Amino acid sequence: MPADLPLDQILEGDCIELLASLPAESVDLIFADPPYNLQLQNELRRPDNSLVDAVNAHWDRFTSFSEYDAFTRAWLSACRRVLKPEGTLWVIGSYHNIYRVGAILQDLDFWILNDVVWIKSNPMPNFRGVRFTNAHETLLWAQKERGARYTFNHQTMRSINDDLQMRSDWYLPLCVGRERLRSNGVKLHPTQKPAALLYRILAASTRPGDVVLDPFFGTGTTGEAAIRLGRHWIGIEKEPVYIEAARKRLSCVHPDSDGISSSEKPDLRQRIRLPFGTLLEYGYLHPGDILYLGPDSAIQAVITPQGKLAVDGLIGSIHKVASQLQDRQANGWTDWYYYDASDHQRHPIDKLRQQILSSQETESDE
């Protein structure tokens, strides 16, 4: 590691200039959350006529695609220089910018390893009903040089995904509530990312002690994840307000004493756990199917596309719904039954879980 690498600090200024001042091939991972080039023409109002507080920051104003492209090429090239040959890069964006970014990234000889979709559990609806709800953002994960060795902690990802391979669709809520940084009740940054997103990214693609750089540091979510996971970080940001907020925030963050960072090998106990939704993924059950609360009970519930159960107005996990209906702590796996057309009988859904678990044991790659 070069001695002149400014570790664990925020560099104040323009990222393209500051990146040029850093030593080449010195960084293991880059996470970038660049301006999205949103182009809302007019104000937007909800059906109750209240005004939506849209992104309208000066740093997100570009006059044309070509201006945005030039900006994108500049910061991506600067990032490429400081990245180690075996390093990788993440970029997040929406449909407004991600196709520009993706194409330029490929033109600069980055090699895409995955695209990942962050699916929001609570996106803002489309108030006018004129398009589909914009419920996801896209992450690109690319390596600097095609064919180079890169870090991917497969077992760590498995262990935080109920021992299934982590897929390219990630379900995470927006950054709201206590996690969202505010000043006098006003959100500090219009697009603060959830900590869980950065935590997963760093846990997946870095090793302890690695250097993680974020050229659009904002309020420092990347730094927080790095500290918690025992990685070094470098943040670049030019807005003094964000820098101050990030410094204050990061002064209170400490490495996790347990969790992913200290248990990078999967815990054998966790191998038994399997989310109900997996039965849908495997096609054993389908959204819309009916489950019964017991072998003879008339009480029914419908499976939702999200892998929950719905009865009347009640929606929740198999365990929660079973508990509420029976007014006691319940185990959904043994309480809910499905109808098997082949033998005309009801069986507990736990039977399906056992089938998947046993098939995974034999498929296991260890």
Partner DNA sequence: TGGGATCTTGAATCCGCTT
Partner DNA sequence: TAAGCGGATTCAAGATCCC
Rule CB under 8 A: which of 268-297 touch a second copy?
280-283, 287
Size of the chain in residues: 366
Token readout for 307 is 């892998």
CA-nearest of 103, 108, 87 to 140 is: 103
**Contacts with DNA in 103-162 (CB under 7 A)?**
106, 111-114, 121-131, 133-134, 137, 149, 154-155, 158
Check residue 294 for interaction with DNA (CB under 7 A).
no
Residue window 133-152: x/- pattern of binding to a second copy, with contact defined by CB under 8 A: xxxx-x-xx----------x
Check residue 96 for interaction with DNA (CB under 7 A).
yes
Token readout for 181 is 């940084």
| Interface pick for DNA out of 136, 319, 346, 351 (rule CB under 7 A) | 319
In the chain, the amino acid numbered 7 is L
Token readout for 43 is 């104000």
Check residue 34 for interaction with DNA (CB under 7 A).
yes
Q: Which does 102 bind (CB under 5 to 8 A by kind): a second copy, DNA, none?
A: a second copy
For DNA, which is the closer residue by CB, 199 or 276? 276
Backbone angles phi, psi at 275, to 5 degrees: -70, 150
Token readout for 318 is 């198999």
Check residue 48 for interaction with a second copy (CB under 8 A).
yes
Distance (Å, whole) CA 72 – CA 69: 5
Residue window 182-201: x/- pattern of binding to DNA, with contact defined by CB under 7 A: ---x-x--xxx---------
Q: Give min distance, CB of 2 to a second copy, in A.
A: 29
Distance (Å, whole) CA 190 – CA 52: 12
| Interface pick for DNA out of 18, 76, 98, 274 (rule CB under 7 A) | 274
Distance (Å, whole) CA 329 – CA 320: 8
Distance (Å, whole) CA 242 – CA 260: 28
Distance (Å, whole) CA 170 – CA 198: 12
Q: Which does 316 bind (CB under 5 to 8 A by kind): DNA, a second copy, none?
A: DNA
Residue window 157-176: x/- pattern of binding to a second copy, with contact defined by CB under 8 A: xx------xxxxx-x-x---
Unique residue bearing structure tokens 């307000």: 241
Q: Which does 107 bind (CB under 5 to 8 A by kind): DNA, a second copy, none?
A: a second copy
The H or E element containing residue 353 is helix 350-363
Q: Which does 320 bind (CB under 5 to 8 A by kind): DNA, a second copy, none?
A: DNA
Check residue 106 for interaction with a second copy (CB under 8 A).
yes
For a second copy, which is the closer residue by CB, 80 or 100? 100
Backbone angles phi, psi at 88, to 5 degrees: -130, 165
Distance (Å, whole) CA 217 – CA 192: 10
Distance (Å, whole) CA 234 – CA 13: 13
For a second copy, which is the closer residue by CB, 39 or 251? 39
Distance (Å, whole) CA 273 – CA 270: 5
Q: Which does 248 bind (CB under 5 to 8 A by kind): DNA, a second copy, none?
A: none
Q: How far is CA 234 from the centre of its chain?
A: 21
Number of residues engaging DNA in binding (CB under 7 A)? 79
Distance (Å, whole) CA 12 – CA 213: 14
List residues binding a second copy (CB under 8 A).
Answer: 45, 47-49, 65, 95-96, 98-107, 112-117, 119, 121-123, 125-126, 129-136, 138, 140-141, 152, 154, 157-158, 165-169, 171, 173, 204, 280-283, 287, 305, 328-329, 363, 365
